[in-house]
Copies of this chain bind each other. A is one copy, B any other.
Amino acid sequence: MATRTRRSQRRTEALSRERIVEAAVELLDTAGESGLTFRALTERLATGPGAIYWHVANKDELLDAATGAVVAAALAAEPAARAEAAESADPAELAKSAESTKPAESPDSPQDKIRAIAFGLFGAIEDHPWLPTQLALQLSRSPWGSVTPQIFESIGQQVRALGVPEGHWFTAASALVHYILGATGQNAANNASARTLAPDVDRAEFLDAASKAWEELDPDDYPFIRAVAAQMREHDDREQFLAGIDLVLTGITALHLPGEQGRTTPPAT
């Protein structure tokens, strides 16, 4: 802890948009969304606010760039993500789901690639819990800004590879992306609140507490949540997340399967 981000050191390197975005991500990671201010940024970069505004139009653009950088990294890490997931998840659980009666599906099937993309984003929130919130904010700022299309595109390509009829591409890709972003956001929030409420306590204990809180809800108003509280206690985040992906994938597959008994709506013609 001798040379801890000495500002005199940094001063030598030239300021650039890239370095600013990098510093913004670091600040978001370590100090949270409220920790990213222009003053904190200028201190970290040893400059004045004017210098930052030379490279970046405003705070929103900076936030978008930070979000974009992290998402791009997560999507690029696709192949590695699966291995990492296997490593950090409960080995017993993983083995169980791997060996059981899964239908024939090639190792690099579109399904697997979709899971890999999803897992890449899911994993990114561990280091960047602010990601889902910023994705939502960016969506509201500019719906078809740069980040969402990246995710939509990478998922969409696999949807196409899945053999989904063209008329359903948009619907199928949207359903997957929305599920992924929603579940990712939910999980980031859970993590954050686990850390905030009890920083020293581990995840399992937090889930236990949360599940108890659920069980104490008014049975008349919240019968379902109460009933589901028990499941919550012993659920594994990654497993749950994957189960949701597979559920949506099942729905998508049904769009072009011959015997379409589960369908509730006609194709869009």
Least CB separation from A149: chain B residue: B225
State whether B252 touches A247 (Cβ < 8 A): yes
Is A23 an interface position by the 8 A CB rule? no
State whether A250 touches B262 (Cβ < 8 A): yes
Is A246 an interface position by the 8 A CB rule? yes
Is A255 an interface position by the 8 A CB rule? yes
State whether B246 touches A248 (Cβ < 8 A): no
State whether A192 touches B265 (Cβ < 8 A): no
Interface residues of A in 224-248 (CB under 8 A from B): 224-225, 227-228, 231-232, 235, 239-240, 242-244, 246-248
Least CB separation from A179: chain B residue: B178
From B136, B140, B144, B186, contact of A178 by CB (8 A): B186
Count of residues in A whose CB is under 8 Å from the partner chain: 85
From B143, B243, B263, contact of A186 by CB (8 A): B143
Determine how many copies of this chain the complex contains.
Answer: 2
**Contact residues in B for A264 (Cβ distance below 8 Å):** 102-103, 105, 111, 246, 249-250, 253
Is A120 an interface position by the 8 A CB rule? no
State whether B265 touches A261 (Cβ < 8 A): no
Question: In the complex, what distance in Å separates the CA atom of A259 from the CA atom of B260?
Answer: 11
Question: In the complex, what distance in Å separates the CA atom of A168 from the CA atom of B231?
Answer: 9
**Contact residues in B for A174 (Cβ distance below 8 Å):** 182-183, 186, 240, 244
Known contacts A169-B231, A179-B179, A262-B253; A153/B222 CB under 8 A: yes
Q: Specify the main secondary structure of chain A where it touches its partner.
A: helix
Against B, the Cβ 8 Å flags (1 = close, 0 = not) of A154-182 are 00110110000011111111110111011
State whether B102 touches A143 (Cβ < 8 A): no
Question: In the complex, what distance in Å separates the CA atom of A149 from the CA atom of B225?
Answer: 8
Give the one of A168, A190, A217, A227 with max B CB within 10 A.
Answer: A227
Is A85 an interface position by the 8 A CB rule? no
**Contact residues in B for A97 (Cβ distance below 8 Å):** 265-266
Task: Name 20 interchain pairs, CB-CB below 8 A, sorted by A.
Answer: A103-B261, A132-B140, A139-B186, A143-B193, A149-B225, A152-B225, A153-B223, A153-B225, A156-B225, A166-B227, A171-B243, A175-B248, A178-B178, A178-B179, A181-B182, A246-B264, A246-B265, A247-B255, A249-B251, A250-B251
Further 16 A-B residue pairs, CB within 8 A, beyond A170-B232, A174-B183, A250-B251: A100-B266, A139-B186, A140-B185, A140-B192, A141-B189, A143-B190, A144-B214, A153-B222, A159-B224, A160-B224, A168-B247, A170-B228, A173-B224, A175-B248, A251-B251, A254-B254
